[in-house]
Amino acid sequence: MNIIYAAEKPSIAKLLSDHTQCEVEPNEIEVRENPDETGSFCIGWQFENYVLSPSGEIAPDKLELAD
């Protein structure tokens, strides 16, 4: 388990690289705080969005569309 204490783009890019198994450069991502969970971050990369949990896990950001 990787614990994230601060939003450092190089560290987040490395975690995203490991998750996607693609090389991700820090300047290719947009990182912002996740308003839904304290200590969590939203990551934008290419056309994808991910959520980084406080425990260091990355998951695709699931948008729920209204009917």
In terms of DSSP H, where are the helices of the chain?
A: 9-20
- Three-state SS for 44? strand
What pLDDT, on a 0 to 100 scale, did the predictor assign at position 23? 96
> Per-residue confidence at 64, pLDDT binned at 50, 70, 90?
low
pLDDT at site 66: 57
pLDDT at res. 62: 79
1-56 tens-digit pLDDT: 555 445 588 999 999 999 999 999 999 999 999 988 888 999 999 999 999 998 88
For residue 4, give Cα distances in angstroms to 48, 49, 52, 59: 21, 18, 9, 15
How high is the pLDDT of residue 56?
87
